[in-house]
Structure 1
């Protein structure tokens, strides 16, 4: 079963992804994580990706998609693809590659939140410097009092991301609407099982709704 998790920055995709992986034993597939692993392993794909990254260029979609499809494993595996595809071109290329491998997208979870709430969330968010786990700040000075709760991070500190200021957040939301949101309608037009998830709720309530579709 291949599940795609889509939504704007600040919708809580990372939080829900961790819950899905922990509760349902899904394999978590993130393009950023995949690139780092391939580069570290010095695989053929990793060396190709590294050559682009060292030049400050984006790794071409065809290599990203090849990594994703390779990560999907056999037909019986359960995979959660977080934040990909980011545009129609990537969605079309991913579908083509999946068809070649006799696989398909089983479910798309589309998390949505109003812009005002997204800006508020991201402007008051910090992340672990090691694992990128997000933390909501009640007040600015709290960033000096919090360390990561994940045991494997060994109490790593947290920081505010440079692109989480209000101006950058607004730009990221605009890019999402222009490039990524059309992917939602793309999958709807293909009659893929797509579920709209209201993410302006407590995270446990959101997960309860998501669970209904994973347990079918």
Structure 2
């Protein structure tokens, strides 16, 4: 059957980007199929043929968000030699990325609420909501391995602290907090580093 049938009359990736932005703005329940079709510039048969169900489209939009906006933020954890600098850069990237003009503010993953019992979506959201905490733990443990952070430091609790700060920044960004206010939050959070990570081991 290869090569048969009518070719798609739309750019699938661009349609997915538009769906992601609508879901990001309105959530799964708030974005109707009709609104999705209008935003994506396609009709119902094309939507189902290209993406399957609304649920499948949402999960693919989540993956796209993580691969693009999530990458803007969380890739900062691996761009710096020290864990402290990495976490600071991640928080500043959060302030920058989640207040960017031309797209919804706040975090698509953390602000999405589901009214309907949709197990696949709940699992998908939970996985992505837990992933930043895991990445922070891993980065802090690398700091221990390099002797930047003392062996006695509880990396899990420190990761939870900075993960909750980052999530809170995302939530207030959604409500309209500007970038500079979030950058101040990041500065205050990093000001606690010496308290919660008290002993730096000399190289």
TM-score by length of 2: 0.25
Query: Which structure shows the higher helix fraction?
Result: 2
Q: Decide which structure has the larger Cα Rg and report it.
A: 2
Query: Which structure shows the higher strand fraction?
Result: 1
Greater relative contact order: 1 or 2 (C-alpha under 8 angstroms, separation 6 or more)? 1
